[in-house]
Amino acid sequence: MHTLTNGDYIVFVIYFIIVACYGYWVYRRKHNADATSKDYFLAEGSLTWWAIGASLIASNISAEQMVGMSGSGFSMGLAISAYEWMAAATLVLVAIFFIPVYLKNRIFTMPQFLSQRYNGTVAMIMAVFWLLLYIIVNLTSILYLGAIAVHGISGINFQVCIWGLAIFAVIITLGGMKVIGYTDVIQVFFLILGGLVTTYIAVTQVAEHFGSPGLVNGLKLMKEHAADHFEMIFKRDNSHYADLPGLTVLLGGLWITNLNYWGCNQYITQRALGADLKTARSGILFAAFLKLLMPVIVVLPGIAAFILYKENVFHSQMMVNGEVNPDNAYPSLLNLLPPWFKGLSFAALTAAVVASLAGKANSIATIFTLDIYKKKIKPEATDHQLVVTGKVAVVVAMILGIIISPFLGIDKKGGFQFIQEYTGFVSPGIFAMFILGFFWKKTTSNAALFATIGGFIMSVIFKVLPKFMDLAFLKGIGFSTLVTQSDGKTQLYEIPFLDRMGIVFVICIIGMWIISNIENPRGDRSHGLEVDTKMFKVSNGFAVGALIIGGILTALYTLFW
């Protein structure tokens, strides 16, 4: 039943009051009338390691995971966990190699890094580009998927849901990065607690359905009744190979996706840019451990929903216009929960959506205010004017997200795949530009522009290229995905987008190497950054934590290969 009981509303109201009161307390306790714009946007020196780690997860885990990734768990199984588990390894690398460069050079925004390393043209192009990407792809998808989930669970009108989520997020965002960072700790608590409760009840529902109650029995039955949903590496004949093409998830494009997202993304790195190196690294390591837990919260429920769907437990809830919609898996599961527990899981989902919206809106405001407004529109703006401008940008961005989200077809592609594929058009070029900018002093501005603009163009070309190329050739080099038609013939569909990202990344690196060697053969131009190998040395505690994460990942892939 798509309604909430009075008990559910009580739990949700308690959650809302706790977050609102704590956020107001943080604002009053830490707000300074003379606070600078960097203090507002970055909470400079104010966030602890646990607040940074929690904020990273709260900003990352949203409707795209709770709804979209659960839907992917429903359709393809545990393999989708690769995004989460590889993210844990990626976070370790970001903490070791990326964050020291940012902090040593006092980088506060990604366009600032590009301006310092390359030039203002590259920085401004990317600032505008990131704003469009964050608003059109990320903010809209979070809003839309979140509203679908809240509507599916509560029965509240969809428009009321989308406006309610937006307003809640704006209230938190207007308090600045300090309020976002510390309230995210509470959001993560609700997210994990509510998520674990949902997983427990979903698994035990499977166990009870087959007459063998208990959590352990439920996990065994899930493995037994959906063995194909517990494979981490897909073979070429798997129908989901286009989304997760075999070993690419370990050796190819998934690394580009994760390194770009966690290391070159204002939305994420902003949490650590206001801290010292030890605090930032500790927070990122904490986030890496939390990422290992995420598939338990978002993927296992999707697999449980798949088994229950096959057993006709909630067949009708999964159907939309006569077709199965995997993104309905998580909301359908929540509707199986008893009163009070449903309210807790509802609060967890809302917490995930609101925290992610707040983080995204803050990043949009930061880039617009510090990299566009202050540099091009009003260079003489005071800190107070910058903070006001940032708050206005938050509200405008959220309204734009509400207006355009219904027109993007997010619900038709599958939420998680929508975000991954469309950000994948730009990730290879951006990551190539950053990685060579970090570690190769010869890299020139024109080479960076080639990677940024050329990378996007090449991604589009490789998206449509299979329609015009020889099928046998592409199949021979391993980059084709085939579909069988009703007449029994096969037709080339497309290059899997993770493979496509790997190809474009390699071309971008080669192109940047050629252009830079032509323009700057002796490497005598200013690098613009201070980079010292001593920066990359880590503490013993961090090294131990990183080794533990590596060991856990090795065990998981060995177990579910």
Residue 192 has a pLDDT of 83
What's the CA gap between 206 and 305, in Å, rounded?
9
- Three-class SS state of 162: helix
What's the CA gap between 78 and 379, in Å, rounded?
50
CB neighbour list of residue 403: distance below 8 Å, 6 or more residues apart:
none
Average pLDDT, the chain: 81
Residue 42 has a pLDDT of 58
Cβ atoms within 10 Å, residue 521: 9
Residue 1 has a pLDDT of 47
Query: What are the angstrom distances between the C-alpha of 493 and each of 241, 242, 380?
Result: 12, 9, 53
Q: Which two tokens stand for residue 492?
A: 């080339």
CB 289 within 8 A of CB 549: yes
Residue 478 has a pLDDT of 52
* Residue 244, Ramachandran bin (φ over 0: left; ψ between -120 and 50: alpha; else beta): beta
DSSP string, 38-75: HHHHH-TTT--HHHHHHHHHHHH-SHIIIIIIHHHHHH
- Three-class SS state of 547: helix
CA 534 to chain centre: 30
Q: How many helices (H) and strands (E) does the chain have?
A: 29, 4
Q: Which domains does the chain have, with CATH numbers?
A: 6-34+51-100+138-229+267-408 (1.20.1730.10)
DSSP H stretches of helix in 379-494: 383-404, 410-413, 415-423, 427-439, 445-449, 455-464, 471-476
Q: Convert the pLDDT of each residue in 311-362 to its tens digit.
A: 887 666 666 666 777 777 887 777 777 777 778 777 877 877 887 888 788 8
What's the CA gap between 186 and 21, in Å, rounded?
11
* Interstrand relation of 319-320 and 323-324 (parallel, antiparallel or unpaired): antiparallel
Rg (CA), the chain: 23
3, with CB counted inside 10 A (0-12, 13-18, 19+), is exposed
pLDDT < 50: residue spans in the chain = 1, 33, 480, 482-490, 492
Residue 346 has a pLDDT of 79
CB neighbour list of residue 27: distance below 8 Å, 6 or more residues apart:
175, 176, 178, 179
Residue 486 has a pLDDT of 43
Residue 559 has a pLDDT of 87
Residue 264 has a pLDDT of 87
Query: What are the angstrom distances between the C-alpha of 165 and each of 55, 137, 331, 348, 559?
Result: 18, 17, 16, 13, 39
